[in-house]
Chains A and B, each alone.
Chain A
Amino acid sequence: MFRIQAIAIVTSILFLLYIVRLIIKGKLREEYSIVWIICTVVLILFSFWRSGLDVVSNLVGVYSPPNMVFIAAIFAIFIYLLHLSVVISKLQSQNKQLAQHIALLKEQMGK
């Protein structure tokens, strides 16, 4: 086993444990943790299965396996950022409705 492989495995597992800890402490909602858990599992998988990267790169026709890693990672980050924008938009709309409701209720109570 190569040294870098060991480092990758340990880091990934620590990361997974940290995510689990955040969920247990209620700081991360389960629905947002799914993507992180999947990412970490993929990382762990490729840490053990070193030739896997070459196999996948060959399969999709990427010549250099490291490029495959970058493309996959950047794509995943973009998708997740978009997902966060959707979440924020939803929060903003709910926040607006709440604020309006409070203003109307305050007026009613003042009568």
Chain B
Amino acid sequence: MSKIAAIVPAYNEEKAIASVVNNINALAQSLKIDITVVVVNDCSRDSTPLIVGKLNCVLLDLPVNLGIGGAVQTGFKYAFQNGFDYAIQIDGDGQHPASEIPILLNAMLENNHDIVIGSRFISKEGFQSSAVRRLGINYFKWLNRFLVGEIINDSTSGFRIINKKTLKIVSEIYPDEYPEPEAIILYSLNKLKIGEVSVKMIERQGGVSSIGATSSIYYMFKVSLAIIYTFIRIKFKK
């Protein structure tokens, strides 16, 4: 039976984190799949680590705040070092319902993908995010298609599953600040097969997005630069 790590990055998620962890554990139990929940506490200032410490899961406690990319990578490192076969990334704010995990897992097993991204936009069900955010997502879709010819509808989705081969890569190199769109470039330049399936997402139950309204222009600019640099770096190294 394959070992699966559910990596949950959490920064000030005291309201939602317990139910996120418990839902995943309940799902694992009812479907009889081997899921270990790995919560990465990104130096929260609230009681997140205290709550997580009492739950049935692994807690990785970062001593300084690294941001989402660094936090998720800590989970990837843990999964890789402990011989997990798959790692699922699930946000700590409850946006990604545990009930959608089997959809990701099945898509991975059936199509032999290296990465499967859970997308909000394929069947357009559930929470669809704000108009501005969708505009940004369309822009990244265009940028990715332009650079690597990969069409990803929801490149900012943090609901993903990756296999062992991908784990090895991301435990060494993983983008820092806003990693999701950038990681897609990293994956496709490493010749990994990326799949996308439709999942339902719900509006966040607590916490705030890592991308505020004022910082979205910075976000677009920074991620564009990072994507282009990643592209140049990997493309010309080979």
Residues of A within 8 A of B (CB): 95-96, 99-100, 102-104, 106-107, 110
Contacts and interface: CB of A to CB of B under 8 A. Distances in A.
A96 B66 contact: yes
Contacts, number: 37
Interface of B: 40, 58-64, 66, 70, 73-74, 77-78, 81, 176
B70 A107 contact: no
A14 B59 CA distance: 54
Give 3 closest A-B pairs by Cβ, nearest first. A103-B60, A100-B74, A103-B62
Contacts of B70: 96, 99-100
11 contacts: A95-B64, A99-B74, A100-B66, A100-B77, A102-B62, A103-B40, A103-B63, A106-B60, A107-B59, A107-B60, A107-B78
Main secondary structure of the interface of A (DSSP, over half): helix
A99 B66 contact: yes
Given A99-B64, A100-B77, A107-B78, 15 more contacts: A95-B64, A96-B66, A99-B66, A99-B70, A99-B74, A100-B66, A100-B73, A102-B63, A104-B74, A104-B77, A104-B78, A104-B81, A107-B58, A107-B59, A107-B60
B145 to A, nearest CB: 30
A14 to B, nearest CB: 39
B186 to A, nearest CB: 16
Nearest to B53: A110
Contacts of B40: 103
Contacts of A106: 60-61
A4 to B, nearest CB: 46
A108 to B, nearest CB: 9
Given A103-B62, A107-B59, A107-B60, A96 B176 contact: yes
